[in-house]
Structure 1
């Protein structure tokens, strides 16, 4: 027991609940940020492609577009991972709620 007369296990459960909720919120925010990055990278790739059409003597623009698409793919993969973390955190939160 602590000074308030609460059981240590109750205190631990409360703290874990706050941490799970926090991790879920952080994971959701991280997923949203990576999705925004992916959209921005796709727009960047489209811009480089358009510039490459206007400037056929600049092959580096196609390479920049390719790298931007690659970065968009990586950002999407990171978003999927973060979404999975958020789902697992939500499941843990539900399991704790059901067992309480």
Structure 2
């Protein structure tokens, strides 16, 4: 799902679990549980084929959503690593630990 969105590809997926938090109707198609997935997916693909501008808009929105989600995720990881290592930039924490063990 993330790889598709990162490559400007709208996602068609079941709308369950955490998927609705990432995929919205403007960057893909959520199929509700209980609906015929293949039928709904084919209908969405046909709609995009009939309206290339809608597909292009969904593609751009998917890429933008991925970039936003990725940046937020990276910031959270940086904060967690900084808290765990006590360093402002966790990328250098291992180098500092390695050099202090040589003393």
Q: Which has the higher helix share?
A: 1
Answer with 1 or 2: which has the greater Rg. Answer: 1
Q: Which has the higher strand share?
A: 2
TM-score by length of 2: 0.39
